[in-house]
Structure 1
């Protein structure tokens, strides 16, 4: 009897080992969209096929799922991919996803939208073609209250522990990538392209996000290369080429009630080439919310013929008149700002504009080794403008600083 008992236990142990080993080697199930009904003819709307494939991949219990978009042009009229999913999903795009040229054919705010997902990976050599050219003339909401709502290319909301790598976003109707309440997300090797005169085609826009990494990315648009909005914290940007565009912008901030602090930003090894702005922080005068912008580091930044290389604007007013004097000063507090090894050329004489709030002056602004010359001027003559700034400078300083 003892021998039988021992043999039974040994058999159970072996079966357990086999089950564990088999689980560890389970390969992801591949869903090739073309083999599951999607047509790469650039005409057939594949939205239903894509959402059906996503549903099956998302519900799969044993092992991860891989959705594969092969070479070819897959027209999509607008899709939403919604979790929560049972297992990680890898979305590989080697073909082209083509948006409708007519903006009214997209019946949602974002053309391709991911929501409530953990452990999502998007990669590939493919392209998201927003076909924005037909939409850009309608992007006039600051003058036309009846302007149509234009869709952003790809959005992420409540997506965590995820990443996007290598793909190209081309000619968005509005912004290219939009992030809201996204945490622990890596963006690397991405290319974002739209003409410099395409309105509101921000490259990457994020609000209420944390622990985001953006690296080895090329962005050229008609608006901000990267826009950092309310509630964004622990953002690390490195090895990014920006141009054309409006630079890397924090804000605008303070316009709406219940906005949150923006803090802990690091920008390193970035090149701004021909942009209207480089390092930019913009807050509304007479802001509706009292928030803090703090712990920002900009280091090893090259400016090539940039309109406003360093620009803190706490009297932001994109469409004047704004009646500044009647509205009052900004209530956004900027503090603990470090600018180190910023160099290159400025299109304009004012290379460093630090225009802070009178009620909430900028505090602890640190300037180290600044060397920005006015392009085309023999002596490189450029100037600084300071309002309500407290801080200190050291190292090489051109133009001469004007800190208190």
Structure 2
């Protein structure tokens, strides 16, 4: 059955691209219109800057009112300095990348937050199986964010802001200068069959970063980076994540939260059926000890997660204080309220003894935290895995390894 499904999927993809190829020659297909960037003078030689030509193709496609429109980037390496694709558009629009989009090596060329950015667009599909190459290797030495809170901001590979009812399907992103995919104020957005890759020691190369967004679905993705596989920031609600292969990287992180006054609650997160392999963290929630906003984190479910040699599989850290930003460690209590968080069937191996660590706020203790069917084994030779829980209220069901947390 699986092989039959694969064959049908391949055939469907073949006929889809055949249709696109034919349509790109004629300009029309069944009432829709294809905007082939080559017809605007774009060249896939890896040298010429195609920003103007591809932007013109986008503008014409966006304003096409005769049906659905498609911007088509064929095989080849298309160098882009930077581009912003703005809406609103007059109909459904598809952006097909079959070739490679290549970023400038020099980070100073890019003057905006994201190298490629979509803004104020509804009903957008980005697909095609193509590659975004951020050429980040030439910029990583400039990144000192691990010790400098006012570090230089480098470009994200691709960003979506104020985009609704849209999706990414079958995209590859490598070697971003900073993050790979960034989402701000998006709604009803699906991310599937995406592959994100950067070396494990590349700084701040988050895979997917989400803030102030709602009703998003992430499934069947592979992420290997030097930072969070998925970073969930304030104001994110109703986010469903499943079938993620994460590693190397820093796992799936919520936060950090509480640093700024105008932050919003994070509500409704589900992470299911995923694997973390060789990451520094697994499932992590982090809030600033010296927080200035009183927000809440609630209605979370982590279910059926495998850990393979993960340093810190389960972490709640409400004493987060990087770069010496707290003048006296342990002096402050986070004002972020964490409640209604369920961990079910979390299993595998930890490379540190502290396989389960929950350090909640003394002023705002974690509430309704549920642990069920946890089995985390320390892979070292100097003892068994340990559990640490502080200021945590909730319940325990089933077998819990490591034991010792009375929630």
TM-score under structure 2 length normalisation: 0.91
CA-to-aligned-CA distance 1:326-381 (integer Å, 9 cap, x gap): 85210000000000000000000010000000000000100000000001338x71
Aligned position for 2:16: none
Aligned position for 2:406: 403
CA distance in 2, matches of 1:111, 1:333: 36
CA distance in 1, matches of 2:290, 2:149: 23
Does residue 115 of the first structure (1) align with residue 119 of the second (2)?
yes
Question: What are the equivalent positions in structure 2 for 1:91-102 lying under 5 Å apart?
Answer: 91-102=95-106
Structure having the higher Rg: 1
Would you identify which runs of 4 or more consecutive aligned residues in structure 1 move more than 6 Å?
none
Aligned position for 1:71: 75
**Which of 128, 131, 146 matches 2:132?**
128
**Which of 255, 259, 262 matches 1:251?**
255
CA distance in 2, matches of 1:321, 1:173: 26
Question: What are the equivalent positions in structure 2 for 1:282-321 lying under 5 Å apart?
Answer: 282-320=286-324
Does residue 267 of the first structure (1) align with residue 267 of the second (2)?
no
Is this contact kept in 1: 2:346–2:374, CA < 8 A? yes
TM-score under structure 1 length normalisation: 0.91
Aligned position for 1:219: 223
Aligned position for 1:183: 187
Deviation for aligned residue 1:258? 1.1
Unaligned segments of structure 1, at least 5 residues: 1-24
CA distance in 2, matches of 1:326, 1:388: 14
CA distance in 2, matches of 1:386, 1:143: 28
CA-to-aligned-CA distance 1:100-143 (integer Å, 9 cap, x gap): 01111112111000000000000012100000001001011454
Aligned position for 2:22: none
2:235 aligned counterpart, secondary structure:
coil
**Which of 202, 208, 214 matches 1:204?**
208
Is this contact kept in 2: 1:393–1:401, CA < 8 A? no
CA distance in 2, matches of 1:245, 1:326: 27
1:118 aligned counterpart, secondary structure:
coil
**Which of 80, 84, 108 matches 1:80?**
84
Aligned position for 1:388: 391
Deviation for aligned residue 1:182? 0.2
Unaligned segments of structure 2, at least 5 residues: 1-28
Is this contact kept in 2: 1:263–1:293, CA < 8 A? yes
Is this contact kept in 1: 2:287–2:334, CA < 8 A? yes
CA distance in 1, matches of 2:342, 2:197: 30
2:44 aligned counterpart, secondary structure:
coil
**Which of 229, 238, 242 matches 1:238?**
242
Aligned position for 1:358: 362
CA-to-aligned-CA distance 1:55-83 (integer Å, 9 cap, x gap): 10011111010111111000000000000
Does residue 194 of the first structure (1) align with residue 213 of the second (2)?
no
Deviation for aligned residue 1:148? 3.9
Is this contact kept in 1: 2:303–2:344, CA < 8 A? yes
2:38 aligned counterpart, secondary structure:
coil
Deviation for aligned residue 1:393? 0.7
Question: Relative to 1, partners in 2 of residues 1:258 and 1:321: Cα closer, same or farther, differing over 3 Å?
Answer: closer
Aligned position for 1:21: none
2:108 aligned counterpart, secondary structure:
helix
CA-to-aligned-CA distance 1:190-231 (integer Å, 9 cap, x gap): 000000000000000010000000000000000000000000
Is this contact kept in 2: 1:170–1:193, CA < 8 A? yes
Aligned position for 2:154: 150
Is this contact kept in 1: 2:114–2:156, CA < 8 A? yes
Q: Give aligned pairs, total.
A: 379
Aligned position for 2:57: 53
CA distance in 2, matches of 1:298, 1:134: 37
Is this contact kept in 2: 1:165–1:189, CA < 8 A? yes
Aligned position for 2:351: 347
